[in-house]
Amino acid sequence: MLFGGRKKKGVENPQTELYGHCLQLYTQPPLENISLVEFEQFAVDRMKLLKTVENLGVTHIKTSEDYSKKLHAEISSLNFPHRTEVSTFIVPAVASEYEKRRKDHISHFILRLAYCQTEDLRRWFIQQEMDLFRHRFNDLSPKSKSDFLHRNSLQYETISVEEKKSLMEKLINSSYAFSGCTVEEQDFYKVPFQDALDLVRMRKVFVKDGFAYVPHQDIVTIVLNDYRTRLSKALALTARSLPVVQSDERLQPLLSHLSHAYVGQDYSIQKNIGKISLEQIDSLSTKSFPPCMRQLHKALRDSHHLRHGGRMQYGLFLKGIGLTLDQALQFWRAEFLRGKVDADKFDKAYAYSIRHMFGKEGKRTDYTPYSCMKVILSNPPSQGDHHGCPFRHSDPELLKQKLQSYKISSGGINQILELVKGMHYQLACQKYFELTHSIDDAGFSLNHPNQYFSESQKLLTGGKEVKRELDSPRRPHAAAGSENSKAPPETPSSSNRVPQEVMDDLDSFFQEE
Amino acid sequence: MAPVAEYEAACLPELLPLYYRRLFPFSQYHRWLSYGGVTKNYFQNREFSFTLKDDIYVRYQSFSNQNELEKEIQKMNPYKIDIGAVYSHRPNQHNTVKSGTFQALEKELVFDIDMTDYDDVRRCCSSADICTKCWILMTIAIRIIDRALREDFGFRHLLWVYSGRRGVHCWVCDEAARKLSVAARSAVAEYLTLVKGGEETVKKVQLSDPVHPFIKESLAVVRRYFTDYALVGQDIMGSKESMDKVVALVPDDILAALQAEKNPTKRWEKLKVIVQQKQASSKKSYYTEEEIMLQYCYPRLDVNVSKGVNHLLKSPFSVHPKTGRISVPIDLRELGQFNPFDVPTIRSVFGIFSDYKRTSLAKYVKLFDQFVEEMERSRKGELLRRTDLQKDF
């Protein structure tokens, strides 16, 4: 690779030399001390930015003006550096610009820690960082671009005027953006073909003697290629050092949270506590629940049971939509008792875990409802499970059938399946939202099942608050059809089985974060 | 012309031992794959695979030196030898290596051009059959790919080998080539690909403005051969059925106008005229003539063979079990005269049957020798150049 190392000059403030350009390749890790507060804030902000990059990247063409404008707005609002006039002074003119560049630098490295662990995470991180880089690079003025190439010691030679003349016809014919004058005006770089694979592969560039003749306007592709290779290697290295980092108790929860984190409202503070009555749940499940929760609810109603993963995902969701602890206990107890569990067993074992969810037992952590990212990335469902994200975890054929049973139009189903094929699971869910609510644009970026619920309720109730209902005494549920909570008589074998399963479930609680 | 009729694989157990004892060029072979001993253990970490009698296939063979290689081959008498990648550890010890650390590091960049891939555009033969008429396709392929690899990509050490039955292989042995990543190999293969599409695709070549210099160069080669190969040899304009296929590639229905012309070669001229007329009255560019020529003649590569660093490919001087022919290097200086049916077989090389005079492997071994020597010379030159540069400081 022909990217040379940073030249060490005798400048007074090495830090300002590091931040001499608004864009960088993150080759040097930050060396300063930083507070935990800043650590977390920087990381969360960058994550918000990358999330926006992801969302915009799917809904817009990446080179469109609309995309650029929106991304630019997000970059500004989160206080990251963006296109600035390159100052001829060594010290950047504005102190806050320096701060922005420092934040850019540090936040990138923090997120490396959070996103190096699995192939999925790495792929996601690299993709968004590359898109972000491409946007920022393309946004630079030509002089700024040259400055960047210079600072990063790009040792690609530009070809001489004579050589350009002799190759004129070939250069013109190697890209349709060219005419005689554009070739004359631009610099052409001689880049080893291995560094310009994307251009070579598609014959978008003239190749001679092992060199690709890359016009200045295409140099971003080369830089991106290099960036991706570096980042990929860096993440692999980072993953190896991770155990050391994770053993630091201050950082471990933060990093763990980051890689699963939802950036936005976390629905741990329920605004609508006690505003949902248990009777409403069946109808709410078809109208306002996202498919993952609708599926769990139905499975619960059908088999009067859910396994641990499902109980966590659904139970926390219900907490998030406003169920109180008492309501939750009622709800689960009623359903489980219709199944194989008797009252005694329920009170001894399952009730504990529900109270646990509400922070009334054990570690007394008030668990937060799972975000989409967490549902999609962690704990994939196995045989007998109903949790997870249907768009991610269901076989496409089955998903199609399910959507048909939900009366989604076939056109809509195709759109959803396309998104699923492109691995845009949250967008697929968003599309489902739009189709089931008969609107064109959801108006929000879906990140959390509880967000789905509250947005849905907003639409359906015209923005009015959910009518407050008193906790009503337990009444037999019409849909379930049974009058009493009498469980079927237990056979000796099943009464032996249940406790063991419950014990296993409890065990897994203590493995929860 | 049928391939060697008398040959049968049953003779291999008897003849292979003789071949491996007397004729296989172990010395040059070892020199080749050691690449001057510049990289430690380069030969020792190379994977070979053998196909033995009764289709037994063994992978991860590796050898410490030429002597071991010779002894083992003479012991096993493989029906077929494949060459794989240079790994991080000795392939024959790969089971002792910690999982995940045994990796393919380097390998020559290779290309495999197979006549079967041209079945939709040749009328004389199909499938594994070849004849002197369609062999021209291989000549065209070699000229185009060889030029591109040398002039566009700057590679210098290319070994073209007859596969023994229906195609040719190219081994690009430059150091830079051996170090290429999977992505780079696939990029080169895609750069060289112009014919796209399988059974369902009728029109497999689409050109649009601007026409990349590489395509122009390749067209120049195709033009030289097109008349003789396609119009005369394959007679593509000679029958309605065959013409239909050609016309299917043309934007409009001009079949009737072509049928009116009785002489097949003149039909092609007529086609060109009609296309020119269309071009004159249209703003966009018509490359119909070029697209047809390319579809009928341009090389068809198997990208998958070229992509993988760990892909195994038949070794030069290996015998083709189905035809008995030896995979010999091809002399590009005499490419026009190369005839696959003159290539020695495992039988002819020992003068086994009387109606063919004994053919010699000598000239092919010499060619191989020259190739290896050229690489050695080049390496020495490069070494001197580098030490000279260092001396200047």
Q: Are residues A340 and A409 in the same domain?
A: yes
Residue A66 pLDDT: 84
Closest Cα in chain B to A198: B187
Per-residue model confidence as pLDDT tens digits over B222-254: 999 998 888 888 888 888 788 778 878 876 656
The whole-number pLDDT of residue A185 equals: 80
A67 with A158, same domain? no
- State both tokens at B207: 């050109």
The pTM assigned to this predicted structure is 0.65
Residue B286 buriedness (CB in 10 A; 0-12 / 13-18 / 19+): middle
Question: Hey, of B214, B216, B218, B301, which one would you mutate to test binding to chain A, going by the most A CBs within 10 A of its CB?
Answer: B214
CATH number of domain containing A109: 1.20.930.80
Structure confidence at residue A476 (pLDDT): 36
Query: Is A406 within 8 Å of chain B by CB?
Result: no
pLDDT, greater one: B29 or A74? B29
Does any domain span residue A506? no
**Position A240 in a domain:** yes
When divided into structural domains, chain A yields a total of: 3
Query: How near does any CA of chain A get to the CA of B153, in Å?
Result: 4
Instruction: Say yes or no: A5 contacts chain B, CB-CB below 8 A.
Output: no
Contacts of A310 (CB under 8 A, 6+ apart): A296, A299, A300, A385, A386, A387
Annotated binding site of A: 292, 372, 389, 429
What is each CA distance from B21 to A354, B25, B74, B319, in whole angstroms? 79, 10, 7, 14
Q: Does A370 touch chain B (CB under 8 A)?
A: no
Nearest to A342 by CA among A157, A499, A160, A175: A499
Is there a single domain that holds both residue A374 and residue A396?
Answer: yes
A29 and A102 co-located in one domain: yes
Token representation of residue A491: 């056979």
Residue A270 lies in a domain: no
A residues 227-266 lying closer than 8 A (beta carbon) to B: none
Measure the CA–CA gap between B154 and B149, rounded to whole angstroms: 6
Q: From residue A479, how far is each of A475, B104, B386 by CA, in Å? A: 12, 62, 84
Closest CA–CA distance from residue A134 to any residue of chain B (Å): 21
Most confident option among A64-68, B93-97, B257-261: B93-97
Mean pLDDT by 10 residues, chain A (513 residues): 37 56 88 88 90 80 82 86 57 68 93 84 87 89 78 76 89 77 81 91 94 86 86 90 81 75 54 79 94 95 92 93 91 91 85 84 71 84 87 90 92 92 89 92 86 91 51 36 36 35 38 32
Question: The tokens 């037994």 sit on which residue?
Answer: B56
> Chain A: residue nearest B186 by CA?
A201
Assigned domain for A55 exists: yes
Question: Are residues A65 and A103 located together in one domain of the fold?
Answer: yes
Q: From the candidates B112, B174, B290, B291, which is the catalytic residue? A: B112
Which chain A residue is nearest to residue B174, measuring alpha carbons? Answer: A210
Residue B375: count other Cβ atoms within 10 Å of its Cβ. Answer: 20
Collect all residues of chain A within an 8 Å Cβ-Cβ radius of residue B154: 208-211
Of B138, B56, B36, nearest to B321 by C-alpha is B56
Q: How far is CA B388 from CA A374, B377, B382, B391, in A?
A: 60, 16, 10, 5
The pLDDT assigned to B9 comes to 86
**Residue A266 located in a structural domain:** no
Please state, as a whole number, how many other Cβ atoms lie within 10 Å of the Cβ of residue A481.
Answer: 8
Percent of chain B with pLDDT over 70: 94
**pLDDT single digits (tens) B320-329:** 999 999 999 9
Min Cα distance A230 → chain B (Å) is: 15
- The lowest-confidence range among A61-65, A273-277, B257-261, B301-305 is B257-261
Q: In this predicted structure, what is the pLDDT of residue A5? A: 35
For the question of residue B112 being annotated catalytic, the response is: yes
Beta strand B57-61 with A188-192: parallel, antiparallel or unpaired? unpaired
- Quick one: pLDDT at residue A486? 37
- A112 plus A137 within the same structural domain: yes
CA B358 from centre of chain: 27
Q: How many CB atoms lie within 10 A of CB A446?
A: 21
* pLDDT at B160 exceeding the cut of 60: yes
Rounded distance, CA B306 to CA B153, Å?
15
- 8 Å CB contact of B151 and A209: yes
**Active-site annotation holds for B392:** no
Partner-chain residue, chosen from B152, B181, B212, that has the shortest CB–CB distance to A173:
B212
Known catalytic residue: B261? no
Distance CA B153, CA B150 (A): 6
A304 and A425 in a common domain: yes
**Is residue A364 located within the same domain as residue A479?**
yes
Q: Are residues A442 and A315 in the same domain?
A: yes
Mark whether A138 and A215 lie in a shared domain. no
Identify whether residues A144 and A207 lie together within a single domain.
Answer: no
pLDDT score at B262: 76
Is residue A206 assigned to a domain?
yes
Range of the domain at A404: 278-492
So what's the pLDDT on residue A357?
A: 85
Closest CA–CA distance from residue B39 to any residue of chain A (Å): 20
Residue A269 lies in a domain: no
Report the DSSP beta bridge partners of residue B83. Answer: B48, B313
User: Does residue A323 fall inside a structural domain?
Assistant: yes
Minimum Cα–Cα distance from A168: chain B residue: B213
First to last CA, chain A: 42
Whether residues A349 and A411 fall in one domain:
yes
Q: Measured between CB atoms, which of B186, B187, B213 is closest to A170?
A: B213
ipTM of the complex, rounded to two decimals:
0.90
